[in-house]
Amino acid sequence: MDKFVIRGGNPLVGTIRVSGAKNSALPCMAAAILTEEEVTLENIPQVRDIETERKLLVSMGAEVELGDGDARHRTTISCRTLSDPVAKYEIVKTMRASSLVLGPLVARAGLARVAMPGGCAIGGRPIDLHIKGLEKMGATIEQAHGYLEARAERLKGAHLVFDKITVTGTEDLLMAAVLADGETVMENCAREPEVTDLAALLTAMGAKIEGAGTSTIRVQGVARLHGAHYRINPDRIEAGTFLIAGAITAGDLVVANCNPNHLRAVIAKLEEVGVKIDIVAPDAIRVRPGGRLMAADISTEEYPGFPTDMQAQYMALVTQAEGVSLVKENIFENRFMHVQELVRMGANIKVDGRTATVRGPSKLSAAAVMCSDLRASASLVLAALVADGESILDRVYHMDRGYERIEEKLRSVGAEIKRMGNVFAPREAEAVAD
């Protein structure tokens, strides 16, 4: 099992490039199910979740070509034949986004059998909102032996109101609606850039969609979709992680190939903490010291609020800020698993329910720590970059699910980080199931 070995103390200086958004790429790959023609996607990140999605599509009968060399961030998908419309447990058990094939499979093939998804152990992400929506559109759904089986001769347009905002639910039902008979109106939709990215691809494939990026989306169903060539948005969470990497190390870092408009909440909070932020190009942000870091509270919200996927990284940052910061997690109920590891490194953090109280600044010292989920892993990398001594991060396969070659990128701007094999045995008693 791979580890990261990180020696802290180096400010990050230079330019670091952001990869394509994993959370856009996954639904866009699933959208290829909706047509018999080829869909080519550019700016695909080389991360573990993408490989899992490739295996899933191939297992259902699709042909998926991943580029290499200069084309390594391109994939071409042909779902001309869907011989086995089943998302098998052995493939999807490590990835929650597997539920995104439910809607397009029912819409295209009239049948879907999908294993209940896995992924990071950060709390409940119920699939019931997907089910309710599909049933309103005329599907019959049964659950048995860990699988959902959905059937529909032809989905029909419906008026759908989400009980709570859900990104994957919005995406899944949006894909179902584009081939349904009639109009589908979806209310209380997620407004994340990843939803807008998917809608743009579907529109390029011939779908009729209005309102993506707002709380109400209208879809006029069409008889068929065609192929398309589309470029995925940059990953706003990777970009935000690198901004904090520059800030926490008091470096002078340009984060390139990003969209500053997708990072407004993160940028505003970093400026409140005392970090100097400059938009140096339409797709580049410079982060540099602005004086002492000062405590500031956050409360995670759906987009355009402060993203839950940046909460752990922000917590690492404010361990170095003067004063008391309150970090409130409103999206997932089990997303403070990084706290005990940050405390092992010397952070002063107390958790009460969904609120963590961070007192700083704390002098962090190197330790052997364990990664428990994707974003927790990122927070530990950030903490290790400023810790005194050499830290060892175990179970970094979590990081590989969503960050492309992060150790190489960080090393290119001055971090002392290397990937190694089995450096030490995991602390089994503290391990967290995936």
Question: At 429, phi and psi to the nearest 5?
Answer: -65, -25
Distance CA 279, CA 388 (A): 32
Q: How many CB atoms lie within 10 A of CB 241?
A: 27
Which of 245, 230, 216, 181 lies closest to 11, judged by CA? 245
| Axis-axis angle for helices 236-248, 374-386 (nearest 10) | 20
Residue 153 per-residue DSSP state: S
How is residue 72 written in tokens? 């390594």
Angle at 255 between CA 249 and CA 257, to 5 degrees: 160
Q: Which member of 120, 189, 258, 371 is catalytic? A: 120
Return the H-helix or E-strand segment holding 218: strand 216-220
The reply to whether 189 belongs to the active site is no
* 3-class state of residue 357 by DSSP: strand
β-strands 323-328, 355-360 pairing: antiparallel
How is residue 31 written in tokens? 């959208």
How is residue 416 written in tokens? 């002392």
Return the H-helix or E-strand segment holding 38: strand 38-42
58 with 26: CB under 8 angstroms? no
The catalytic residue positions are 120
